[in-house]
Every structure is written in C-alpha cells, then in structure tokens.
Amino acid sequence: MAFAQDIIIAPVITEKSMTAAREKKYTFKVAKDANKIQIKKAIMEVFPGVEVKAVNTINVRGQQRRYGKYTGYTESWKKAIVTLTESSKTIDFFDGML
C-alpha cells in the first residue's frame, strides 16, 4: 500500500492547466504505477473537503534532447487530470495562482 504522498508527486503549472483550474480540473504529476482509483483516494486524502468526480491519466513520453554531440531522452512520466464535483471545495494551492 503506497502512501498518498508517494502517489501525488507534484502539481503541473502550465498556462493550459491554470485555465482548466477555473473549471475545477486540476493537473498533477503522479507515480507511473498508480491507477485512477489510487489517484482519486490520494487526492481526497491530501486535500480534505475535496470530492473527486473523475480522473483522466496520460502517459507522457520523454522528449529527445541534445547536449553537444550527445543525444538522449528526458524521463517519461504520468499526468493525471482530476475533475472535482460541483459541490466540492476547491484546492487552495491553485487558488493563489488564478
């Protein structure tokens, strides 16, 4: 059993994710082996008063990068877009950025 802090790694702060936050859709970087049910439970545990309606996950491939004559790939990661219910409390972390 993984802890909630091990499942949710970091929030994703981009222009697109901030516009979606106005519609109660929040984006997080999550553990690669976490499923939607584990992500939902972790969000509700870390942010009390939040009710999750849906979780969408995306596996993000690593991008190719060059450093001089050497090429390689950045690390691949998993992204979760969490949609909250209408009656749910918002996540305070994102409220300060809107």
Whether pTM > 0.95 for this model: the answer is no
Q: Is residue 4 part of a domain?
A: no
The pLDDT tens digits of the residues spanning 43-95 come to 999 999 999 999 999 999 999 999 999 999 999 999 999 999 999 999 888 88
Residue 95: its H or E element:
helix 92-95
Q: What is the CATH number of the domain that holds 69?
A: 3.30.70.330
Residue 28 pLDDT level (bands cut at 50, 70, 90): very high
Exposed, middle or buried: residue 70 (CB in 10 Å: 0-12, 13-18, 19+)? exposed
For residue 52, the enclosing domain spans 10-95
Q: Is residue 1 part of a domain?
A: no
Q: Is the pLDDT of residue 1 over 70?
A: no
Q: Is residue 31 part of a domain?
A: yes
Q: Is residue 3 part of a domain?
A: no
The tally of domains found in the chain comes to 1
Q: What distance, in Å, lies between the first and last C-alpha atoms of the chain?
A: 34
Residue type, 13: I
Q: Is residue 58 part of a domain?
A: yes
Report the C-alpha gap between 85 and 43 in whole angstroms: 13
Distance from the Cα of residue 69 to its chain's centroid:
34
Distance from the Cα of residue 1 to its chain's centroid:
20
